[in-house]
Amino acid sequence: MTQLHDTTESIKGKHLTKAERAQIKILKQENYSNRDIAARLGRAPQTINNEIKRGTVRQIRRQKQNGKTY
């Protein structure tokens, strides 16, 4: 199937800029939804969701040895 109507202005696969990341942070603090942020930035809503998840998830590495967690 061919897509006839492109809703995003940016090129697929292009990374977010620092300015876009800063804008996402500010708009989230002002309680904008991911879809509203995506519309303002001309990005896909899933891109915004992925960026928020990536930026807020702590990656803690736990190592177990002999019953002890480090």
Q: Where are the domains of the chain?
A: 27-55
pLDDT of residue 31: 93
Task: Give the span between the Cα atoms of 9 and 44, in whole angstroms.
Answer: 9
- Paired tokens of 7: 């809703």
pLDDT of residue 59: 44
23-41 as b/e: b if 16+ CB within 10 A: ebeebbeeebebeebbeeb
- Paired tokens of 70: 């480090």
pLDDT of residue 69: 58
Task: Give the span between the Cα atoms of 35 and 28, in whole angstroms.
Answer: 11
Q: What is the pLDDT along the chain (70 residues), one digit of tens a residue?
A: 566 666 656 566 678 888 898 899 999 999 999 999 999 999 999 999 999 988 754 444 555 666 665 5
